[in-house]
């Protein structure tokens, strides 16, 4: 056995020299150190050997195995290096070629507007308060001072679910009552953004699903003057620092008094153009002082507390900012439209 091992070692080292491919190297390894190799055989016969012979054979088998493993690793490394040199020489890289541009996704134009709106109101101390899109009839109407059969409900017609009294909200105003019920009797300063739904004929100006951003401030001594300043300042920060605003009397069941805020058309600077339909003004939001009944539904005593609320449409603002003529683009998923922002 000893002789056989010596011979194997010599032959194996000799035959390794001629190997130039990985396959051959693999084969060499299984022949010389693998299951059917002389080394493995030597281990297998150890138990049948005499006491004197056993340690000698064992020791030599270990040595042979270690030596062969070592030369195998060296050869492997040698082949790897040769392959690398070869590929560097034959497959020349042109490192001056321009790289392939990575296609980055973008934020939806309305998301961008929403973020600008959040930032402006955050600077004025308003927190974002998220409320549900699936609402109860009570929150969408009754708590907003529109009891059952109130004619104003028609203006906010919605999608009804099969569950009685469960509807999709038509505006973010129900969030006012959620916020009040959570915070009372503390003062409140929040904006309530989110998706709203209306049962409506879809056309260039109205969609059946759209965002709103509601604002709500409740506290002691809050006046209509506070409302005017906050929303006018918002317009100045959103459009430009000396944009003019005006308030027109309006009606909402949940505010009293109610108003509509317009900003001077920033396309024609108030002269009259197609964007402002020759009026010089653009309607931006509905607003007003929170109606005493709504305060009461929210848990505030109207004798002690007052508040203001407003609601605006980010899609409409985005359309104005970018002169987009059809609101349906926002949901059409047309890359040619979305890529422009």
Q: Which is nearer to ligand PHE, 32 or 173 (CB)?
A: 173
The total of other beta-carbon atoms located within 10 Å of residue 123's CB is 11
User: Quick check: 310 binds ligand PHE (CB under 6 A)?
Assistant: yes
For residue 310, the minimal CB distance to ligand PHE (Å) is 5
Q: What is the CA radius of gyration of the chain?
A: 40
Residue 294 in contact with residue 308, Cβ under 8 Å? no
Q: Which is nearer to ligand PHE, 61 or 284 (CB)?
A: 284
Backbone angles phi, psi at 79, to 5 degrees: -65, -40
User: Quick check: 173 binds ligand PHE (CB under 6 A)?
Assistant: yes
Q: Which residue is nearest to ligand PHE (CB)?
A: 311
For residue 210, the minimal CB distance to ligand PHE (Å) is 10
* List 309, 320, 324, 327, residue binding ligand PHE (CB under 6 A): 309
For residue 177, the minimal CB distance to ligand PHE (Å) is 12
Q: For residue 332, which of 209, 154, 159 has the smallest C-alpha distance?
A: 209
Q: Which is nearer to ligand PHE, 33 or 261 (CB)?
A: 261
Q: For residue 144, which of 301, 296, 260, 306 has the smallest C-alpha distance?
A: 296
**Residues within window 198-257 making contact with ligand PHE, judged by CB under 6 A:** 214, 252, 255
Q: Which is nearer to ligand PHE, 16 or 309 (CB)?
A: 309
End-to-end, the C-alpha distance of the chain in Å comes to: 81
Q: Which is nearer to ligand PHE, 28 or 252 (CB)?
A: 252
**What is the secondary structure of 132-189 as a DSSP string?**
-SEEEHHHHTGGGT--TT-GGGGGG--PBPSSTTEEE-SSSTHHHHHHHHHHTTS-EE
Q: Which stretch binds ligand PHE (CB under 6 A): 13-21, 95-103, 281-289, 329-337?
A: 281-289
Where are any strands of DSSP class E within the chain?
127-128, 134-136, 166-168, 188-197, 209-219, 245-252, 255-264, 281-290, 306-312
User: Quick check: 286 binds ligand PHE (CB under 6 A)?
Assistant: yes
How far is Cα 12 from Cα 16, in angstroms, rounded to an integer?
6
For residue 195, the minimal CB distance to ligand PHE (Å) is 13
For residue 115, the minimal CB distance to ligand PHE (Å) is 21
Q: Which stretch binds ligand PHE (CB under 6 A): 36-44, 79-87, 181-189, 303-311?
A: 303-311
Strand partners, 307: 218
Binding mask 255-274 toward ligand PHE (x if CB under 6 A, else -) reads x-------------------
For residue 199, the minimal CB distance to ligand PHE (Å) is 14
Q: Find all residues with CB under 8 Å of 177, minimum gap 6, and list them.
A: 139, 143, 144, 294, 297, 298
Q: Which stretch binds ligand PHE (CB under 6 A): 3-11, 235-243, 284-292, 324-332?
A: 284-292
Backbone angles phi, psi at 139, to 5 degrees: -70, -40
User: Quick check: 288 binds ligand PHE (CB under 6 A)?
Assistant: yes
Q: Which stretch binds ligand PHE (CB under 6 A): 16-24, 69-77, 161-169, 307-315?
A: 307-315
* List 180, 227, 261, 287, residue binding ligand PHE (CB under 6 A): 287
For residue 288, the minimal CB distance to ligand PHE (Å) is 5
Angle, vertex CA 284, rays to CA 230 and CA 169, nearest 5: 95
Q: Find all residues with CB under 8 Å of 317, minimum gap 6, and list them.
A: 113, 117, 238, 284
Q: Is residue 64 classed exposed, middle or buried when 0-12, 13-18 and 19+ CB atoms within 10 A define those classes?
A: buried
Q: For residue 129, which of 91, 179, 79 has the smallest C-alpha distance?
A: 179
User: Quick check: 171 binds ligand PHE (CB under 6 A)?
Assistant: yes
Instruction: Give contact residues for ligand PHE (rule: CB under 6 A).
Output: 171, 173, 214, 252, 255, 286-288, 309-311
């Amino acid at each position: 056995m000893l002789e056989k091992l010596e011979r194997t070692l010599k032959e194996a080292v000799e035959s390794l020299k001629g190997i130039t491919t990985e396959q051959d190297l693999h084969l060499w390894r299984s022949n010389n150190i693998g299951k059917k190799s002389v080394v493995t055989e030597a281990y297998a016969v150890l138990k049948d050997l005499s006491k004197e012979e056993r340690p000698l054979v064992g020791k030599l088998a270990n040595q042979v195995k270690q030596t062969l493993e070592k030369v195998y690793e060296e050869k492997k490394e040698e082949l790897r290096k040769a392959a690398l040199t070869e590929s560097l020489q034959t497959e020349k890289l042109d490192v001056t070629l321009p790289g392939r541009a990575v296609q980055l996704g973008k934020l939806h134009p309305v998301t961008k507007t929403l973020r600008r709106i959040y930032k402006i109101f955050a600077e004025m101390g308003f927190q974002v308060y998220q409320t549900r899109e699936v609402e109860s009839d009570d929150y969408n109407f009754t708590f907003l001072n529109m009891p059952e059969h109130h004619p104003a409900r028609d203006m906010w017609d919605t999608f009804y679910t099969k569950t009685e009294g469960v509807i999709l909200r038509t505006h973010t105003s129900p969030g006012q009552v959620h916020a009040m019920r959570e915070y009372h009797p503390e003062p409140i300063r929040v904006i309530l953004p989110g998706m709203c739904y209306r049962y409506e004929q879809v056309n260039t100006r109205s969609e059946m699903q759209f965002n709103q951003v509601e604002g709500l401030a409740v506290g002691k001594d809050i006046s209509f003057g506070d409302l005017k300043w906050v929303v006018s300042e918002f317009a100045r920060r959103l459009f430009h620092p000396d944009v003019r605003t005006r308030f027109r009397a309006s009606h909402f069941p949940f505010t009293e008094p109610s108003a509509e805020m317009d900003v001077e058309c920033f396309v024609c600077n108030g002269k009259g153009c197609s964007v402002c339909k020759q009026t010089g003004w653009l309607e931006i939001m509905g607003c007003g002082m929170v109606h005493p009944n709504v305060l009461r539904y929210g848990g505030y005593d109207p004798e002690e507390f007052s508040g203001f609320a407003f609601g605006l449409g980010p899609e409409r603002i985005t359309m104005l900012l970018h002169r987009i003529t059809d609101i349906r683009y926002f949901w059409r998923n047309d890359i040619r439209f979305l890529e422009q922002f």
